[in-house]
Structure 1
Amino acid sequence: MKALRRWSIRFGLFSGAMASMLWGMTATTLALPQSQIIEKLKQVPVFTVANEKGSPLVASGGNNSRVTGVFMSQQDAQEFVNNLKKENPELGNKVQVVPISLGRVYKLDKQNEGKSKELDFRYVPMEEEVNSALSVLKQQGQDIDNFGGVPLFIARGGEDQGYLTVKRGNGDPVIPMFFEKEQLENMIDKFKESQPQNADSVKIDVTTLESVLKTLEENNNEQLKQVVLVPSQESMQFIQQNSQQQN
C-alpha cells in the first residue's frame, strides 16, 4: 500500500454521521477556508496540456465558454497529445503534458470565476476507475449506465457503518478517499486483518471529486478536516520520480 506507506497501519472507524455531508446533502452557511481546501488538494498531482510557455490548450464549449482539460492520469493526457499530433500535427507538436497540483488548479478556477473570459477547468477521470465506480453502484442496486465526475472511493464498516480511518505517523486519524479502487481494496485487506470481527461489515462507497469539493466549500465541520485525498499509484510514482530529480 505505497500511498499509505508513511501512515501507521492502525485502523479505526469514524462516525457514520458524516456521510450526508460528504455526499453534499447537508448545507450550512459556514465553509472550510479556501486556504485549507487548497492545502488539502495540493498533494494531488494532475496533468494539463499546454504550450512551451505554459498556456493551457483551450477548446470552445457551449455559450462561447473556454474549456481546458485537467487529466487525473498522466498517461491519459499523453495519449490525448499523441492523438492530437495525428489529427492536427501543427497544433499537436506545439503542446505537451504539464503536471500541476490539484490545489493550483482549484485556486486558478476560483480566481477565474465571474471574469468575462472565464476559463472552465474540466476534470477528466480515468476510464478504468469510472468503470469501477459504475460496478460499485450497480452492486448497490442502482440502475446506472453513466457516471458523471471523477470517482473517489471510500470504505465504511462496523455496526454504525462509520468511515474507515488510518492514523498518520503523528497519531492523528484521517479519512482516506482514493482516486483508485484497487488502493482502497488493499487498505480494506489490512483492516480485515487487524479487525476480523468487523470484516464482514466493510463495504465500498463511491462519490465524486466534484461533490467533495462542493461539500468542503459549504461546510466547516471538524470531521471534514480529516478527509485526505490519496493519489493513484501512477500519480504517486510521478511524485516519487519528481522528488528524486529535485534531490
Structure 2
Amino acid sequence: MGGRRGFAFASLAALVAGLRFPSTRAPRPRLDASRSEEPTDGSKTALFESPQWPALLSSLNRLPSFTVANERGQPLEYEAPGGTPLAMFYADVQAAQAELVDARKMYPELDCGVIPVGVGTAFRLASEGKALLSEYERPPPSTEMAAGSSPVGQQLPLFGCLEISRDGGPGRGPILPLFMSRSDALAAVRAGAADDLDVMCLSLDRAVELLLTVEGTGFEFVPPSASLDFIDATIRSEGWGNSHAPSSASAAGDA
C-alpha cells in the first residue's frame, strides 16, 4: 500500500483544519424518504474523549469523503424528518457528483461544486447526529460482517483480508489494510496471488472503537482509487494546491 502513488493537493488534514461550517448555509432540500441512512443519536461521542482520538482523527482525515457545497464552501444541508438539518458526506465521489447535478438544478444561483472533506471529520459529525456519511460501496449479502458491524447508515463499511496483514514492527501487532472500496480490496488480494482468500467487512465505527479501546490494534486505511483519480484530475484542472498527502493512513492502538 505504501508504494501507491500519493495524491497532490492541499492535504486533507490541512483542508479540514481550516474548514468551518458557518451558521448561514445553503438552502435545505428534504431528504428522500427512500434513503436508508438515518442520523445517529450521538451515543458514540464518548469515544472522541479518548486521548488517542486526535491522532486517529488526523489519520482518518487523510481519507477523502466528498460533499456538495456552495461557492463559499458551505455544505448543502438536508432536512431530515422532524426538521433536523444535516450535511451529507459521500465516500463515493460519483455519488457526490450525481448529487451535484440535482443541486445545480434546484439552486442554480449557488454555484455549487464538490469539495473533499476528511473522513474523520465526516465520521465525527455523523456520530454526533449532525450529518450523514454514505458508504462507498455496499457489501453484497454474502459478505461476512464482523461482529457488531452493519453495512448501512452511519457505519461506513471497510474491507480487508487478514492474510494480507503486514508486520507492525517491534512491539506492535500486525497491521491490517482496510479498504474503503471492496473492489480495491479484492484487487489487493489478487495481487498477492491469493484469489481464494475471503474479504471481510468491518464498519468504520467498529474500527474506530477497536483502535481507541483495544491495545495493539493496528489498521491501515486505504482510500478508493477512484477518489484519488478524481482528486488528481481536479488538481490538474483547478490547481488544488501542491503538497503531497499519503495514499493510505496507518493507525494503531497503544502497544
TM exceeding 0.5: yes
Q: Name the counterpart of 1:196.
A: none
Query: Of 193, 203, 212, which aligns to 1:208?
Result: 203
AA paired with 1:207?
A: L
Query: Of 223, 228, 231, which aligns to 1:231?
Result: 223
Check conservation: 2:165, 2:177, Cα contact below 8 A.
Answer: yes
Rate the CA distance shift 1:190–1:78 in 2: closer, same or farther, 3 A: closer
Rate the CA distance shift 1:56–1:89 in 2: closer, same or farther, 3 A: closer
Rate the CA distance shift 1:242–1:165 in 2: closer, same or farther, 3 A: farther
AA paired with 1:105?
A: A
Q: Name the counterpart of 1:156.
A: 162
Rate the CA distance shift 1:168–1:216 in 2: closer, same or farther, 3 A: closer
Aligned partners of 1:208 and 1:240: how far apart in 2? Answer: 27
- Does 2:65 match 1:46? yes
AA paired with 1:121?
A: A
* Equivalence map 1:1-247=2 (5 Å): 4-6=2-4, 31=50, 33-86=52-105, 88-90=106-108, 93-106=110-123, 113=128, 120-126=130-136, 129-130=137-138, 132-137=139-144, 147-148=152-153, 149-157=155-163, 164-166=164-166, 174-192=175-193, 202-217=197-212, 219-223=213-217, 226-241=218-233, 245=239, 246-247=241-242
Q: SS of the residue aligned with 1:37?
A: helix
Overall identity of the aligned pairs, in %: 21
> Which one has more relative contact order, counting CA pairs under 8 Å at least 6 apart?
1
Aligned partners of 1:231 and 1:61: how far apart in 2? Answer: 28
* Structure with a larger share of its residues in helix: 1
Which digits, 9 at most, give the CA deviation of each residue in 1:199-224, with x for residues without a partner?
75x3111122233234444x14222x
Count the aligned residue pairs: 189
Check conservation: 1:133, 1:206, Cα contact below 8 A.
Answer: no
Aligned partners of 1:44 and 1:210: how far apart in 2? Answer: 15
Pairwise CA distance, 1:239: 4.5
Check conservation: 2:178, 2:220, Cα contact below 8 A.
Answer: yes
Which digits, 9 at most, give the CA deviation of each residue in 1:186-209, with x for residues without a partner?
22123346xxxxx75x31111222
Unaligned runs of 5+ residues in structure 1 are 8-27, 114-118, 141-145, 158-163, 194-198
Aligned partners of 2:80 and 2:130: how far apart in 1? Answer: 9
Which digits, 9 at most, give the CA deviation of each residue in 1:146-182, with x for residues without a partner?
844422111134xxxxxx313699xx85211011112
Q: TM-score, normalised by structure 2?
A: 0.61
RMSD over aligned Cα atoms: 3.5
AA paired with 2:229?
A: Q
* Structure with a larger share of its residues in strand: 1
Aligned partners of 2:179 and 2:83: how far apart in 1? Answer: 34
Which digits, 9 at most, give the CA deviation of each residue in 1:86-132, with x for residues without a partner?
3x2446x442211122234346668xx5xxxxx61201123xx21x4
